[in-house]
Amino acid sequence: MIWVTPLSRLEETLRLTNAQHVLSLLSVGSDPVSFAGLPSVQHLNLAMHDIAEPRDGFVAPSSDHVREILEFASRWDRKTPLLIHCYAGISRSTAAAYVIAAALQPERSEQDLASELRRLAPSATPNPLIVAHADDLLGRNGRMRTAVRSIGRGAEAFEGKPFCIRIVRGPHPGH
């Protein structure tokens, strides 16, 4: 299972889920998140601004960021949940969850995953740069971009509510 939460509910969601792998996607300049007792190999801090296109003075989500997300997810053993958070739990974290779900379930259609994301998280507005880079890296030929555009902007919200995307059981990558 992949859990997504805003930063304000991170500790609560971590206790609730007993997640042992955490992906933190916060803005450049934010204090990095750390967890006592969680080995560094099970936690990835990435710093990027939540912007939809490159802008001077900001760090846009890059293909290197997405490559790190995919590599981190490939090391997740799926025995315990993966927890993903950003500041609001609406854009960067929902994009990362969508990307990881697509990578781990290549047989599922991009549209099915995007529709499930919308059903689970009405406020989700996946960051389009993260999705675009993943679309290229995963060889999805624009299908991820199209699927995320089709669900549109999420409901207006200050922050999202924690939610869970179930990963359809299949072989663990590398097995």
pLDDT grade, residue 175 (50/70/90)? very low
Kindly report, residue by residue over 63-119, the tens digit of the pLDDT. Answer: 999 999 999 999 999 999 999 999 999 999 999 999 999 999 999 999 999 999 999
What fold characterizes domain 2-165?
Protein-Tyrosine Phosphatase; Chain A (3.90.190)
Q: Tell me the backbone φ, ψ of residue 2, rounded to 5 degrees.
A: -115, 120
Kindly report, residue by residue over 41-62, the tens digit of the pLDDT. Answer: 799 999 999 999 999 999 999 9
Q: Give the pair of three-digit tokens for residue 71.
A: 């590599």
Q: What pLDDT does 169 receive?
A: 62
User: Under a CB-based contact definition with an 8 Å cutoff, are residues 148 and 126 in contact?
Assistant: yes
pLDDT grade, residue 38 (50/70/90)? confident
User: Under a CB-based contact definition with an 8 Å cutoff, are residues 55 and 68 in contact?
Assistant: no
User: Under a CB-based contact definition with an 8 Å cutoff, are residues 69 and 22 in contact?
Assistant: no
For residue 25, pLDDT over 80 is answered with: yes
Q: How far apart are CA 92 and CA 98, in angstroms?
A: 10
3-class SS at 6?
Answer: strand
User: Under a CB-based contact definition with an 8 Å cutoff, are residues 61 and 129 in contact?
Assistant: yes
Q: How far apart are CA 71 and CA 108, in angstroms?
A: 20
Kindly report, residue by residue over 120-156, the tens digit of the pLDDT. Answer: 999 999 999 999 999 999 999 999 999 999 999 999 9
- The domains of the chain are located at 2-165
For the chain, the straight-line distance linking the first and the last C-alpha, in angstroms and rounded, comes to 19
